[in-house]
Amino acid sequence: MLTRTLAIAAVALTALLPAAAAAAGSAPAGEDVYLVAGLRGANEVGAPGDPDGLSTVALKISGNEVSFAIRWDKVDVPKAAHLHLGARGTDGAIQLDLIDGRLPKTALGVAGTTKADPAVVAALVADPSGFYADLHNDAFENGAVRGQFHRLNRKIDLRGVLHGADQATISSANDGWWLRPASAAAMAYTATWSGILPPVSGGIERGSVAAELFEDPDGLQPNLTGIAGEAPVDRTLLRDILAAPQTFAGVLRSLEGGVVSERLSPKAPVHPRALTADVLLGAQIYACTQQGATTAFTQFDVSAQLRRGISHSFVQPVAGPPQWVAPDHSAVRGTVVTRTPNGAGNIPELVLDATQAGAGTGLLAQATQILRLNTKGGVAPAGACTPGEKASVRYGADYLFLG
């Protein structure tokens, strides 16, 4: 059994922070603060980022302790993830290291905990949009993807961000493993732990039969508490695991030879998800209205098709509220909490509270918060118009659904 407690390193302040923010103190005692950033290559400054890559970085701030979950897609495995002080469109100094070192090649996400300088925490809580996260890898040394932080209105489970969007079909005795087949010859995995030495490998085992899911000969970073990804698995072995998961165990191994083993179960876990769905084809719809002696285009509706077949519109034109409906009949409606400007010519970024409005299970059934991020276009036409006239303006955005 692994027994040693994970070491948590303090990170020093590396740049001068705004005096007002530094004076504000850390997060209020007993109150956790949740922040999220949606990262895109197009947000990088100075050098181009990954044109296809995206990532979600979620933080839970408890006093001066910062827990994090990072999930990436269409990005080579990062070797570093940082929190920087800097407004949108500007470069800034690193304030906190989240990842610092190589990760297993099958990884698609990690979770962990670190300590931050109180002045960094104070400034981050006071002005989340003044900070950004970025990921670095061999292909993009100066930054693959980047995004500014937004403060959430509700708590989220960071394991949902680590795990991603798809429902796991296999659990484990102590809820340390969530598994699902990713294909006929691959397994998607999420493993979490606490109070143990950094694992050097993790996999599914039954006696001498094993499916290795991740490996790091030197051991994972000591501040990490979870990893998720997809790994190739022999087709016959994968069929055996799916047919009788209770005869296998999820196993973590340490450098010193310690083992943590959890029996698998065919019962699908109930777990949160985090889903990013970008707009494939979308328009903000405006209607010309009389406003005193003048006329102007005001919001009438929205019509958008998102990735994964999610449709987005208003429940009722003008009155709203906005709604998102998935093909599996799960659905949510949103109430705007905050609006953040995103440059001239772009509609603002939004944080919305989500209300369930569809099936009790499915893609959106766990969502409690929605973020509209990385917006492009969609601004109402300027100038006079004829009352009753409508205008449809193309736009792009990433919608992030959190549970």
pLDDT at 28: 53
Nearest to 373 by CA among 396, 351, 398: 398
Q: Kindly indicate the confidence band of residue 17, based on its pLDDT and cuts at 50, 70 and 90.
A: very low
What CATH number is given for 14-161 in this structure?
Answer: 2.60.40
Place of tokens 């099936």: 359
pLDDT at 339: 97
Question: What would the pLDDT profile of 58-109 be if each residue is shown by its tens digit?
Answer: 999 999 999 999 999 999 999 999 999 999 999 999 999 999 999 999 999 9
pLDDT at 270: 87
Rounded mean pLDDT, 267-285: 94
- Quote the pTM value: 0.91
Contact 376, 396 (CB under 8 A): yes
Beta-sheet strands, E only, within 94-160: 94-100, 107-116, 131-136, 145-151
Contact 273, 163 (CB under 8 A): yes
Rounded mean pLDDT, 17-34: 55
Peptide bond into 222 cis (omega under 30): no
- CA distances to 101, 195, 349 from 218, in Å: 11, 18, 41
Question: What would the pLDDT profile of 160-184 be if each residue is shown by its tens digit?
Answer: 999 999 999 999 999 999 999 999 9
Nearest to 279 by CA among 387, 385, 373: 373
Question: What would the pLDDT profile of 350-369 be if each residue is shown by its tens digit?
Answer: 999 999 999 999 999 999 99
The helix/strand/coil state of 42 is: helix
Domain 166-265, what architecture? Sandwich (2.60)
pLDDT score of 10 more than 50: no
